[in-house]
Amino acid sequence: MRASLNDLSERATHGAAPTLAVEVKPADSVWPQPLEHGWQCVTTKAGACASPSGLPATGWLPAQVPGTIASAWRGAGRLDAERPPAFAADDHWYCLPLAGNGPQRLRLHGLATLAEVWLDDRKILTSDSMFVAHDVEFELNGAATLSLCFRSLAPLLAARRSRARWRPRLVTPPTLRNVRTTLLGYMPGWCPPLQAVGPWRAIEKLGDAPAAIDTVDLRTQLDGDDGIVSVTLEFVHPQPDTTLVVLNCGTARSSLQWTGAHTLSGNLRVPHVERWWPHTHGTPRLHDIELQLGDTSIALGCVGFRTIDVARGDDGEGFALRINGTPVFCRGACWTSADLVTLAGTPEQLAQAFAHARDAGMNMLRVGGTMVYESDAFYRLADEYGMLIWQDFAFANFDYPTDSDFTASITLEATQFLARTRRFASLAVLCGGSEVDQQAAMFGLPPSMRVQPLFTEHLPAIVERERPDVPYVTNSPSGGVWPFSTRTGITHYYGVGAYQRPLDDVRRSQVRFAAECLAFANVPDDATLRDAGTMHAHDPRWKAAVPRDPGAGWDFDDVRDHYLRTLYGIEPARLRYEDPQRYLDLSRAVVAELMTDVFAEWRRAGSPCGGGLVWQLQDLKSGAGWGVVDALGRPKSAWHGLSQVLQPVQVVITDEGLNGLDLHLINETAGKLTLQLDLVCLRDGAVDVASATRAVVLAPRSTQRIGAADCLGQFFDFTCAYRFGPRAHDVTIVTLRDPSSGRIWSEACHLPERSALERHDLGLTATPEATPDGWVLVIESRRFARYVHISDAHYRARQDWFHLPPNRPVRVPLTPFNANDTGVSPDGEIRAINAHAPVFYR
């Protein structure tokens, strides 16, 4: 619906400031016009140019808007993203020549961070927050130059605003507490030092059409089974109050009322409306909203209808969401950025990220306080994909100022964000910030000395006014005398992870909701390591890319290696130099196993846990980062492990020691399922030593527990806990299948001895097969194959790092790494961590 300006200044010169102008003329559309093309930028020393008249004639680069100075440098081939210059230490100027006549109004959606807006040599705006949008008005009488100056942060960072009660190690320098900018680029050990500077959000000209729209405010709520849409429209120009205006949603219609020369408002009731659900529990149903303004139809976008409330448990100390009255186990990951350079990413990058999250069975992403408020495009995709969003306000770790100027700035920031995202059904939790209370508590401060009214009074009041339909929590983590206590409220659970606790700590910790968890240095697959320049685990570049907490004497490679040693009985350092490929494969396998076991515990029947969000979804740079998806957008073994334990219809196994194995059957769908449960225990990966089959009925949105002993009806040492003799079996395989079609809904495996890593001739075979939908790899094994991995020169396996039962072929679709590989024959190998050698195919 948006009209674009005709670009009259398209050029890519490097030697001179721009001279051709964009003509600002009446728009055909009622929507604001993005000013995207014709911009150029230049970098100067801090304070070198007081106004645009002092700008140099050389050194200009074409600039993308929205974008950052880093994206302009990348476009010119000048950016080293791993070792960028300190962009925030210099001044950066963006210029766009304009031509036109009459009054103009621009909307600048985000300027990072200390910004000035000039028309020729007249300053018309200053801004000190990258999270606030501004409107500017001016008169054009022919030609003029619009200039944006982004001033150095150095003087502000050097100044003391107020004394802080604590100083976190996470962020450098600590005076960033005074500046409303993202912490991305300022967290050593977490991400590259790529500092956000520039017009990172869109710059738009409000339309000149008679019915040009200024703002649209859409709200939804439920009244019983009916949906209510409330709308307020502001027009740029006065409107005749005799114009008939009707709001449509499907077959429902309602007239709107003029409440002023510029303002329309009213409500529309949609009878028996179909509700929006997270995709794991139903259909994320969206409804088109259309405005009929006289003879003109204007599409206002889509909305969803849902309710969200919080269940605290019988003791009042839990945290779990109910969507439309139904308990929802929230699982997913913490969001970083689709593109650290632009802080936005392309529509294709965003869509790919949401597809990865959905396909893994995730239903929630958390945008943390160290990141940025995401775009409308991000939230539209969340609505469409049925992905719940936990949104921190952009605060983390610091003791923040309390003066009136700071308070006024964050009031505007929070109000604008909530108004902008009011229409989106996916916004599920609003949180004051990340690890602020935890940071103070770990410095030894009692609750009375670490409280910040910003989080306990100010922000919740704004949320109550602007988004009363979304639950608010003061901080993540929060709850209890120790805000990071695992059995109270919201925690960041790194017991299994950074604290190197044993796996049984997951149950002992009684986690109620983990807004962060399971951080490991997740190893990318072979193709990504090859594309990164054949990076090896013993290469100095490897360690440089591994995340670490500032000041810690260990990194997250060491955390993963700890579990490689304790679970598999392997000495990582020795294996790394003796057999680097096996070291990488076991490193990939162990994180997949940890993801599976932890979420099996949290999803089991009787678990007090309401959700878990893995740290993080996607890497910000190449290497073994925290992401379960690598920097090229390719899933890692951790993602595949999650995809095998997070599906809406799922069987998971928990080891109950002397009680044997418990099988937990989960059905989050709205329909009853009648399935067949198969259990088999294998010796030597092939010999059936115990088996059972039974019919099971999975009630809608239910979880049930069945003891493996109940299935078998006789004693069998499933967990090897009694030790009456040699271990009788290697693996227990439990399968949920459709009894008529044979379709497998879910499968889970239990290994009584994880460290049994002897390698055998498994009889693995792999046969590429061309189909109308692309290539498929048909894989079969004569013996149980543990963590089958597919490594192909041209393709990514959609199913990977999985266990393969014997004598049961599996068909794995292959996705080309890039468009040039489409149609190329597969060429690679399959490996399993208990196979003595890889199997090649082509």
Query: Looking at residue 684, which CATH number applies to its domain?
Result: 2.60.40.10
Which whole number is the average pLDDT over 646-650?
A: 98
- Which CATH number characterizes residue 510's domain? 3.20.20.80
Which whole number is the average pLDDT over 499-510?
A: 96
Q: Is the pLDDT of residue 17 over 50?
A: no
Hey, what's the torsion of the CAs at 626, 630, 633, 634, to 10 degrees?
-120
Interval 318-351: pLDDT, tens: 999 999 999 999 999 999 999 999 999 999 999 9
Give the domain-ending residue among 189, 205, 221: 205
Predicted local distance difference test score (pLDDT) of residue 27: 41
Predicted local distance difference test score (pLDDT) of residue 80: 93
Helix (H) or strand (E) holding 424: none
Do 456 and 477 sit in the same domain of this protein?
Answer: yes
CA atoms within 13 Å, Cβ hemisphere of 579: 11
Predicted local distance difference test score (pLDDT) of residue 163: 87
Do 562 and 653 sit in the same domain of this protein?
Answer: no
Q: 119 CB contacts (<8 Å, ≥6 apart)?
A: 138, 144, 145, 146, 147
Joined together, the tokens standing for residue 487 give 């059995």
Helix (H) or strand (E) holding 673: strand 673-683
Q: Are 153 and 185 in contact (CB under 8 A)?
A: no
- Residue 1 inside a domain? The answer is no
Q: Are 224 and 272 in contact (CB under 8 A)?
A: no
Query: Measured between alpha carbons, how far is 116 from 181 in angstroms, rounded to an integer?
Result: 15
Q: Where are the beta strands (DSSP E) in 772-833?
A: 774-780, 785-792, 795-797, 802-804, 810-816, 828-831
Q: What 3 state SS string does 712-775 have?
A: HCCCCCCCCCCCCCCCCCCEEEEEEECCCCCCEEEEEEECCCCCCCCCECCCCEEEEEEECCEE
Query: Measured between alpha carbons, how far is 571 from 562 in angstroms, rounded to an integer?
Result: 9
Joined together, the tokens standing for residue 432 give 């004051």
Q: Where are the beta strands (DSSP E) in 151-256?
A: 203-205, 213-223, 226-235, 245-249, 252-255
- Residue 295 inside a domain? The answer is yes
Q: Is the pLDDT of residue 428 over 60?
A: yes
Predicted local distance difference test score (pLDDT) of residue 23: 52
Q: Is the pLDDT of residue 803 over 60?
A: yes
Beta-strand relationship, 226-235 and 213-223: antiparallel
Helix (H) or strand (E) holding 98: strand 91-108
Helix (H) or strand (E) holding 545: helix 540-545
Q: Which domain holds residue 185?
A: 22-205
Give the domain-ending residue among 593, 618, 643: 643
Interval 344-377: pLDDT, tens: 999 999 999 999 999 999 999 999 999 999 999 9
Of 658, 807, 649, which Cα lies nearest the Cα of 735? 649
Of 73, 11, 4, which Cα lies nearest the Cα of 39? 11
- Residue 17 inside a domain? The answer is no
Of 203, 204, 202, 196, which Cα lies nearest the Cα of 342? 196
Do 327 and 474 sit in the same domain of this protein?
Answer: yes
Q: What are phi and psi of 607, to 5 degrees?
A: -70, 140
Q: Are 637 and 592 in contact (CB under 8 A)?
A: yes
**How far from chain centre, in Å, is Cα 368?**
9
Q: What percent of the chain has pLDDT over 90?
A: 87
Predicted local distance difference test score (pLDDT) of residue 16: 37
Give the domain-ending residue among 246, 274, 303: 303
Do 537 and 597 sit in the same domain of this protein?
Answer: yes
Interval 143-171: pLDDT, tens: 999 999 999 999 999 987 788 998 998 99
Q: How confident is the model at residue 21 (pLDDT cuts 50, 70, 90)?
A: low
- Residue 197 inside a domain? The answer is yes
- Residue 164 inside a domain? The answer is yes
Do 312 and 250 sit in the same domain of this protein?
Answer: no
Do 110 and 62 sit in the same domain of this protein?
Answer: yes
Q: Is the pLDDT of residue 5 over 50?
A: no
Of 287, 297, 212, which Cα lies nearest the Cα of 246? 297
* Largest separation between any pair of C-alpha atoms in the chain: 94
Can you tell me which residue has the tokens 């604290």? 499
Which whole number is the average pLDDT over 65-84?
A: 96
Predicted local distance difference test score (pLDDT) of residue 538: 75
Which whole number is the average pLDDT over 436-447?
A: 91
Cis before 483 (ω within 30): no
Q: How confident is the model at residue 22 (pLDDT cuts 50, 70, 90)?
A: low
Q: Based on the structure, what is the number of domains in the chain?
A: 5
- Which CATH number characterizes residue 177's domain? 2.60.120.260
- Residue 11 inside a domain? The answer is no
Q: Which long-range contacts (CB under 8 A, 24 or more apart) does 7-13 make?
A: 7/36, 7/37, 7/38, 8/38, 8/99, 9/37, 9/38, 9/96, 9/97, 10/37, 10/38, 11/38, 11/62, 12/62, 13/40, 13/60
Do 321 and 417 sit in the same domain of this protein?
Answer: yes
Bridge partners (DSSP) of residue 335 are 367
Do 350 and 462 sit in the same domain of this protein?
Answer: yes
Do 704 and 772 sit in the same domain of this protein?
Answer: no
Query: Measured between alpha carbons, how far is 420 from 412 in angstroms, rounded to an integer?
Result: 12
Handedness of CA 171, 173, 177, 179 (dihedral sign): negative
Query: Measured between alpha carbons, how far is 371 from 516 in angstroms, rounded to an integer?
Result: 14
Do 104 and 142 sit in the same domain of this protein?
Answer: yes
Do 416 and 313 sit in the same domain of this protein?
Answer: yes
**How far from chain centre, in Å, is Cα 25?**
39
Q: What is the mean pLDDT of the chain?
A: 93
Q: How confident is the model at residue 28 (pLDDT cuts 50, 70, 90)?
A: low
Interval 663-711: pLDDT, tens: 999 999 999 999 999 999 999 999 999 999 999 999 999 999 999 999 9
Interval 372-409: pLDDT, tens: 999 999 999 999 999 999 999 999 999 999 999 999 99
Predicted local distance difference test score (pLDDT) of residue 724: 85
Predicted local distance difference test score (pLDDT) of residue 818: 87
The SS3 of residue 72 is: helix
- Residue 36 inside a domain? The answer is yes
Can you tell me which residue has the tokens 């949180």? 431
Which whole number is the average pLDDT over 248-252?
A: 96
pTM listed for this prediction: 0.95
Of 276, 481, 285, 301, which Cα lies nearest the Cα of 377? 301
- Residue 4 inside a domain? The answer is no
Phi/psi-derived region of residue 479, left when phi > 0, alpha when psi is between -120 and 50, beta in every other case: left
Phi/psi-derived region of residue 480, left when phi > 0, alpha when psi is between -120 and 50, beta in every other case: left
Do 421 and 564 sit in the same domain of this protein?
Answer: yes
